Amino acid sequence: MYLIDDNPFTLDLVYELISKKTSINLSNLSREKIISCREYLDNKIKSSQSPIYGINTGFGSLCDIKISSNNLKELQENLVRSHACGTGEIVPKNVVKLMILLKIKALSHGYSGVQLKTVERLIDFYNLDATPVVYSKGSLGASGDLAPLAHIALSIIGEGEIMYRDQKILTSDFLKQKNMAPISLQSKEGLALLNGTQFMSAYAIHCLLKSFKLSYLSDLIASLSLDAFDCRLEPFNSLIHELRPHNGQLLTAKRISKFLSDSALSSREKKHVQDPYSFRCIPQVHGATKDTLNFVRETVMTEINSVTDNPNIFYQKDLILSGGNFHGQPLAYALDFLKISMSELGSISERRIFKLISGERNLPCFLTDKPGLNSGLMIPQYTAASIVSASKQLSTPASVDSIVSSNGQEDHVSMGANAAIQANEIVENTEQVLAIELLNASQALWYRKEKTSVYLENILSSYRELVPKVSDDRILHYDIQLSVDFLRNFDVNSDIFS
């Protein structure tokens, strides 16, 4: 059981919580803050007739319309229903669970005015592994992730649908199964649940966890390719990188030098003087991705430990302030940077694939014993090239776009939600390209008399149990999918996330 309190979430903590399926609850401190804030708000509504945005007024461009105190509950539930208009694909269950976790964390700070039982219901969903059905399209990433978060809020009031034990069922039926009653939303609660950046943030966390792992795997697979293409190791000498000490560059060179430290292939005499950039400049390219991911992590960690709904209730100062913490611009930029950096990992990987099948350096053309009769690994490079080009197209920044909404009241938006969906697709694309490089590097190394390092040989041995040598043409779709599965199941040290 993990108790949510004032201690900030870190990437490795979130990874541990979700990977171990740890149950969560609120600390006593968080409970006290939530209760105190709600009591203050109730008293404020009773004692004041002044309009307070989203509490006793309409929303968006309807903010100047005062709402009777008798209609405040209806106001909040109408808000949830009217905003639950997402379309597109259903968001993956693990991302929705992250959304719930991050929303609980944001509400736990005690600036949102929600009821304690509302937060506890989110905790119930999280601990029961029950995730509301959320759709991928509909958020502008500015007034918070309104549409996606509305679908989560629907489940709190007993409406919409929920995924439970791999079944999509009505939330009302789920609540009956669990002997739970729908929550009756009070003033401000619908707005607190809908305003926020948890859709963008959850995708950012999901992408970051996968990206750090793929960054590590890209170094590992590149090391196999370096030996497969009979490359020189001088470009990885630490003396070079100390002259240009970007952290990611230093780490990449150090990691690859370690991977290949006892490789017979690396240590043998080379006939060529230099290698192509896709091999020689691995520290510079992979390293730049590492540095970018660290920037993205810093931005995302600030975001998930923040309060991002509106208005904010400062009960200790007797203030209710309306602002714009729901605007997703920081996340939009970060996700666009992630898109570009992960796209480049795929791009340089595809170039190494191209060289491995080129028939150079005593490797057979297309890595087959019978070129002509067999096409060998000719076409997986086509697939990689197609994927890389798709990632380049998706890498166009979403954050430079905006569109007017809510009758001009919400006249500049971040498009961070679009960046989040694109980032997720690019990360999956990069995983597929790296899987194809692994297929090619393994195949090429069959043609080398010497061995690579002991560590890499052990990995190759496990991989080749799934994907043996391609001696005669076969359906390579299955080999690629098995390669992707191998990468997904590859156990990496969680330290790479910290």
**119 falls in which pLDDT band (50, 70, 90)?**
very high
Averaged confidence pLDDT in the chain = 95
Task: Convert the pLDDT of each residue in 20-63 to its tens digit.
Answer: 999 999 999 999 999 999 999 999 888 877 776 667 776 665 65
Q: What share of the chain has pLDDT > 90, as a percent?
A: 89
Amino acid 62: pLDDT:
62
- The pLDDT tens digits of the residues spanning 61-79 come to 565 666 666 677 788 889 8
What digits encode the pLDDT tens for the residues 169-207?
999 999 999 999 999 999 889 999 999 999 999 999 999
- Residue 54 is predicted with a pLDDT of 64
pTM surpassing 0.75? yes
Rounded Cα distance between 410 and 403, Å, is 9
In the chain, ranges of CATH 1.10.275.10 domains: 2-196
CATH T-level topology, domain 203-497: Fumarase C; Chain A, domain 2 (1.20.200)
In this prediction, residue 65 carries a pLDDT of 64
Known catalytic membership, residue 203: no
Of these residues, 2, 40, 53, 277, which one is catalytic?
Answer: 53
Confidence (pLDDT) at 67: 63
Average pLDDT value for residue range 479-493: 96
Tell me which architecture the domain covering 2-196 has in CATH: Orthogonal Bundle (1.10)
pLDDT at residue 272, as a whole number: 93
